[in-house]
Chains A and B, each alone.
Chain A
Amino acid sequence: MGTAFYIAAAVAILSTIMVITRYNIMHALLYFIVSLLSVAVVFYLYGAPFMAALEVIIYAGAIMVLIIFFVMMLSLGSQTAGDERSWMTPGVWIGPSILCIVLLGELVFLILQPAGPAGEVRVVEPKEVGLSLFGPYILAVELAGMLLMAGIVGAYHLGRQKKKIVHRFLETSES
């Protein structure tokens, strides 16, 4: 527990500091993905392997990819392929890659270890979480579903391009 936690915590804090000090948004997002992965390793250490998988899949895999697509879409009009070449210089990806390799080595070491988590950390099984989620918290699950539905409808409504609507009678009277 001890050393592995401190390495993952150091990677998390370092990459978060890099996130808040970058000027380029793409560099910051790369470091933020590393920060989420290290927090997932911390979840694994605290006896929540299913939550670690969800953190990687939903946060690092879905939400961050959404933000990255959005940033790329915004800068599509004014910038060209030369920018894409400047995004991929070694100075951009070498820092996050080193931090990722540290995390990967730590995770492989943890998986190869035979025993369970040491110390006073108690593992909470995913089955227990599911029983609690769909037992006493079923109302909260339905509320979360309604929240996601409202998010979908709101995002569609806000993201729609406003067209100027001219009534056809007015159009014919003008012309």
Chain B
Amino acid sequence: MINPTTAGLILAGILFILGLISMLIRRNIIFMLVSVEIMLNAAGLAFIVAASKWGQPEGQVMFMFILAMAAAEVSVGLALILQLYHQLKTLDSDEASRMRG
């Protein structure tokens, strides 16, 4: 039986690595947004584990800020994807590699 703090941080690390792998191997742009969400969630899990380790509320405060930032990021990201889809008629991120002013 390993330490609960170590176990929680290992879980957060595994989830973050999975999100990073998904970000690297996927070309669909909605999947890339979802993998960013996975990584943010793993970072929040690390904050919560640290808060319970030290018994201080700062970790949970940081998790609430991560939550607010994720909400703002998703709304702006979805609006950007909508514009991209209207212009390119696809969700492939390679199509958007060239910017034409």
Contact = CB atoms under 8 A, between A and B. Distances in A.
- B: contact size bracket: 35 or more
Nearest to B86: A161
- A: contact size bracket: 35 or more
Interface stretch (A83-91, A104-112, A114-122, A164-172): A114-122
Contacts, number: 172
B73 interface: yes
A5 B70 contact: no
A159 B26 CA distance: 24
Contacts of B25: 20
Nearest to B58: A132
Interface in B11-43: 11, 14-15, 18-19, 21-22, 25-26, 28, 30-31, 33-35, 37-38, 41
Given A9-B7, A20-B22, A63-B71, A71 B30 contact: yes
A48 B48 contact: yes
B37 A32 contact: yes
A48 B38 contact: no
Given A9-B11, A16-B18, A158-B82, 18 more contacts: A25-B31, A28-B34, A32-B34, A39-B15, A42-B48, A51-B48, A59-B70, A66-B75, A70-B82, A74-B91, A120-B53, A121-B4, A121-B52, A129-B57, A133-B57, A133-B64, A140-B65, A144-B65
